[in-house]
Chains A and B, each alone.
Chain A
Amino acid sequence: MLKGGWTGKILWIDLTKEKSTIWKYDPSMALHYIGGRGFAIRILWDHLKPGVDPLHPDNLLIFAVGPLTGFPLPSSGKLVVASKSPLTGGYGDGNIGTKASVMMRKAGYDAIVVEGKADEPVYVYVEEEDVTIHSAKDLWGADVREVHKELTNKYGRDSGILTIGKAGENLVRYAIVMSEEDRAGGRPGMAAVMGSKNLKALVIRGEKPLPAVDEKTIKELGAKAYKDIKGAPMYPHWMEQGTMMIYEWCQENSVLPTYNFREGFFEEADKVTGKVMAEQYKKYQKGCPNCNMPCGNVAEAKKRYKGTKAEMDYENVAMLSSNIGVSNMDDVIKLIREADDLGVDTISVGSAIAFAIEAYKKGYLKEDELDGIKPDWGDAASALDLMHLIIERKKFGDVLAAGVRYASLRLGGDTVKFAMHVKGLPITAYDAHVAPGMALAFGTSSIGAHHKEAWIIAWEAQYGFEKVDKTKVEKVIELQRIRGGWFETFVTCRLPWIEVGLSLDYYLTFMEAATGIKYSAGDLNRIADRIYTLIRGFWIREYGYWMRSMDMPPMRWFEEPLTQGPKKGAHLSLDAYNQMLDTYYELRGWDRNGIPRRSTFDNLGLSKEARELEAMGIELTP
């Protein structure tokens, strides 16, 4: 039996049947998968029919918290949203900082699963055991801020609200779930899945106490951890710039994505740095629940878009500045605001715009296919038009709305080399011409190219970008375990640890105090490995096959050396990458094609899943 940490209950909502049930799940799921993405992959494996179209009503949309979510400990206001991804066709998830995470806990659930499809636009209101479905016809078409305002007025400021914008309604495959106006999560199209279910929003409220075995320890240790964070040497700088502090760092190291990842050095980077943002544009900062190091820096435009405000995170800013050649802060603010209002992933839409500019300039796309838009590097107005073309799915915008992988397959030729994605998910804001470790992190991330699992780049700079050895591969796996395993299952924010150096030891004690179970670091790593292998199994199950080329970054980084900046001439080596990938597979117990070995499945307690794959005709190496 579960003593604390978990509520043991999952709310299952069927929109087709308009009914909900409370599922008291088998506690072994909690013990072996912790929560968050662990629950998500377990539920998808067990309850999703293989091969389902991600936008079909049968796909499952999962919102999951973990045993540490919502407690008075650092940055615990996060939740995971997961589904089979309409962008990649594989496992997709994202985490989002929102009151909805705390409210889900207070409503008494460890997860909420949505299946089916409503006949008409609806939103769902969950207040503990009361679950009601309401018409959202009036909200359909409304932007994220309006919906948030409307539902906040109706249900109160402390309600947890998750919503989609127009991008989700129009099934743009990288529509993202939004909360509190500019918090976003679920890059691989989780909001398109919501849209496909006619689900505009989910509102959650509750007043139940959070279950803990030893509340006193959580409180006391939590207070100490908050103090450690405030006392960290990095703290003041973090508070000033948040993630934007890395902008100039990336430029200095030639890893700032520039012109669709063609370069790692942007000649106008000086105008967009964290310092410029903090000193000239920042208005205030906001954060997720229970966080004392809020990183949502809200900046306000001064000239062209005077009064427009947007949250400036490094990823958003880099993908909508240097990567499309834009250096005017006003323009960047406007592009981010627009993307957030429409509920589209800033990273993927930045990637799609950059891809379209390059394809157009190289003659793969004609003006009329772009509805008269003539995109160019540094031209923010045409970038904005392209964004709308994509969201409205007009002309070639319809193709771009399915992501750069699909667009490049449609256009053919060399476009495949500059469609900057892995497994269909666009690469986040680190150019890896000089960074083989970061390239491997993108190549092997479990949802497609994303930095959230192995953000190795700072470590790699110190260790030596030029090195390609086993230590570096081991580091990728270590980070995947902690970032992609521990934090994505606890579910809390990893930033107190990674940004200001809060000790990981805290979390082991927090886990024990919450659940009464003593997990060692080794136990948690093993759980993370189980999750990674099951996620890989899910991709293989859904694709029906696997090849190592699916774990490769785009050819651009190998074949087109940098032409600008101090690292001019640098590029990745294919041999070196392959060597690292072999080592990676070996360390993970996967075969040379990236398919987990039969023995690896067995060792992780996944024999049944291995047999299911074998029954599908997938050959597993012993």
Chain B
Amino acid sequence: MMIEVVVLGFFQDYTGRKNIELEIEKPITIREILKRISPELAEYIESHPENSIILVNGVSIYNMKGFDTRVRDGDKISIMPVVGGG
């Protein structure tokens, strides 16, 4: 099973790239995904949840089960800082 992860902004400093494809065996949680792509990023995000936006297929995990939200085959995960711009 494949999931697609997009990492934006300074979170790329942790992952080194923007697009990541992850092979998973069974549905896993956002927390596990974060650990798999970068344990340091996972630590940062979990300690500053207000500074990050995580979307599963465009929907904020805030409105699902937070870090315990499970993702499945074909899901698209976007991980981004609460950026500025104005």
Contact = CB atoms under 8 A, between A and B. Distances in A.
A455 B60 contact: no
Contacts of A315: 86
A243 B9 CA distance: 11
A246 B84 contact: yes
Interface in A446-486: 451-452, 455, 458-459, 461-467
Nearest to A314: B85
Interface string B43-86: 01000100111010011101100000000000010101111111
Given A233-B10, A233-B44, A462 B53 contact: yes
A431 to B, nearest CB: 14
B59 A464 contact: yes
B37 interface: no
Contacts of B44: 233
A469 B48 CA distance: 25
Contact of A249 (B51, B59, B63, B83): B83
B78 A252 contact: yes
B46 to A, nearest CB: 14
A185 B83 CA distance: 23
Given A233-B44, A237-B9, A463 B60 contact: yes
Contacts of A500: 84
A459 B82 contact: yes
B84 A499 contact: yes
A238 B81 CA distance: 12
Interface in B1-51: 6, 8-10, 13, 44, 48, 51
A605 interface: no
A243 B85 contact: yes
A495 interface: yes
A245 interface: yes
Contacts of B63: 464, 466-467
A307 interface: no
Contacts, number: 81
Contacts of B51: 233-234, 501
Given A233-B44, A462-B53, A462-B62, A245 B82 contact: no
Interface residues of A, number: 34
Contacts of B10: 233-234, 236-237
A238 B86 CA distance: 12
B84 A462 contact: no
Contacts of B85: 243, 245-246, 249-250, 314, 455, 458
A500 B84 CA distance: 8
A464 B83 contact: no
A248 interface: yes
A245 B60 contact: no
A567 B58 CA distance: 8
B84 A495 contact: yes
Contact of B62 (A248, A252, A458, A464): A464
Contacts of B81: 234, 237
B65 to A, nearest CB: 13
Contact of A245 (B13, B48, B76, B83): B83
A388 B9 CA distance: 36
A252 to B, nearest CB: 6
B12 to A, nearest CB: 9
A237 B78 contact: no
B13 A461 contact: no
B58 A464 contact: no
B34 to A, nearest CB: 16
Contacts of A455: 85-86
Contacts of A238: 84
Nearest to B76: A566
Interface string A243-275: 101101110100000000000000000000000
Interface string A311-342: 00011000000000000000000000000000
B9 A249 contact: yes
11 contacts: A233-B51, A234-B81, A236-B13, A245-B84, A455-B86, A458-B85, A462-B60, A462-B62, A464-B59, A499-B84, A567-B58
Given A233-B48, A249-B83, A249-B85, 5 more contacts: A248-B8, A461-B55, A461-B80, A461-B82, A566-B76
Going nearest first, the 7 A-B pairs with the smallest beta carbon separation are A246-B85, A499-B84, A237-B10, A464-B63, A455-B86, A462-B53, A458-B82
